[in-house]
Amino acid sequence: MTLAPTPGQTVGPFFGYALPYDGDSHLVPPTRPDAIRLHGRVYDGAGDPVPDALIEVWQTGPDGAVPRAAGSLHRDGYTFTGWGRAATDRTGHFQFTTLRPGGATPYFAITVFARGLLDRLLTRAYLPGAAPEHWPGATARADDRGFVFDIRLQGEDETVFLAYAQD
């Protein structure tokens, strides 16, 4: 039996009072010694920042293990759930406080939603040097606090978005 998929629709302009929540982008407290920052800006095809996008991150911890703990919506300050959410601000900027992902090819799995974007987009933000050979897109770049990954929805430097092979 194969059921037809339910199509996606845009997140629209009014998610801001529904989806963000206290602590959404703090996968770990910023005071934790091994906390890093993952941040960036979302741009449209004219190079203008997108102030009404929502970015989600899903990642392993430094040990490379897939987190299986609940608690992302009410964080206890100690449990690493591997998942977070950040709305962009007026300048299109988003940021997460998190841990460095581990494993053989460490990356942040990223989901992008925005007003004007009719379905979600998925991508990988590989750590510098971690992407497979011939990876067609940009990787995250290091800065003094962690990593930067800008998202360009359209244009010359358009982010490489992913389609996953079906069974």
Partner 1 sequence: MTELAAAAASSASSDAASTSQAEISAEIDAIAQEYDAAQVVETDARLDYPPYRSSILRHPTKAPHQVDPEGIELWAPVFGQRDVDPLESDLTIQHRGEPVGERMVVTGRVTDGAGRPVRHQLVEVWQANAGGRYLHQRDQHPAAIDPNFTGTGRCLTDGDGTYRFTTIRPGPYPWRNHHNAWRPAHIHFSLFGTEFTQRLITQMYFPGDPLFALDPIYQSIVDPAARARLVATYDHDVTTHEWATGYRWDIVLTGSHRTPTDADTEDDQ
The torsion defined by the Cα of 44, 48, 50 and 55, in degrees rounded to 10, comes to 60
| Greatest extent of the chain over all pairs of C-alpha atoms, in Å | 51
Q: How far apart (Å, rounded) are the C-alpha atoms in residues 118 and 124? A: 20
What is the rounded end-to-end Cα distance, in angstroms, of the chain? 13
Nearer to partner 1, 33 or 109 (CB): 109
Q: How far is the CB of 105 from partner 1 (least distance, A)?
A: 8
Nearer to partner 1, 79 or 145 (CB): 79
Q: Are 19 and 84 spatial neighbours (Cβ–Cβ below 8 Å)?
A: no
Using CB under 8 A, pick the residue from 35, 117, 125, 138 that binds partner 1: 117
Q: How far is the CB of 35 from partner 1 (least distance, A)?
A: 19
Q: Are strands 146-148 and 141-143 parallel, antiparallel or unpaired?
A: antiparallel
- Binding partner at 109 among partner 1, Fe ion, none, C-beta below 5 to 8 Å by kind: partner 1
Please give the DSSP secondary-structure letter assigned to residue 82.
S
Q: How far is the CB of 136 from partner 1 (least distance, A)?
A: 6
Q: Are 56 and 67 spatial neighbours (Cβ–Cβ below 8 Å)?
A: no
According to CB under 8 A, which residues from 94 to 113 bind partner 1?
101, 103, 105, 107, 109, 111, 113
Using CB under 8 A, pick the residue from 29, 63, 73, 78 that binds partner 1: 73
- Binding partner at 69 among Fe ion, partner 1, none, C-beta below 5 to 8 Å by kind: partner 1
The torsion defined by the Cα of 69, 70, 71 and 77, in degrees rounded to 10, comes to -10
Q: What is the token pair recorded at 100?
A: 């460095």
- Binding partner at 113 among partner 1, Fe ion, none, C-beta below 5 to 8 Å by kind: partner 1
Q: How far is the CB of 166 from partner 1 (least distance, A)?
A: 7
According to CB under 8 A, which residues from 18 to 57 bind partner 1?
18-19, 44-46, 48, 50, 56
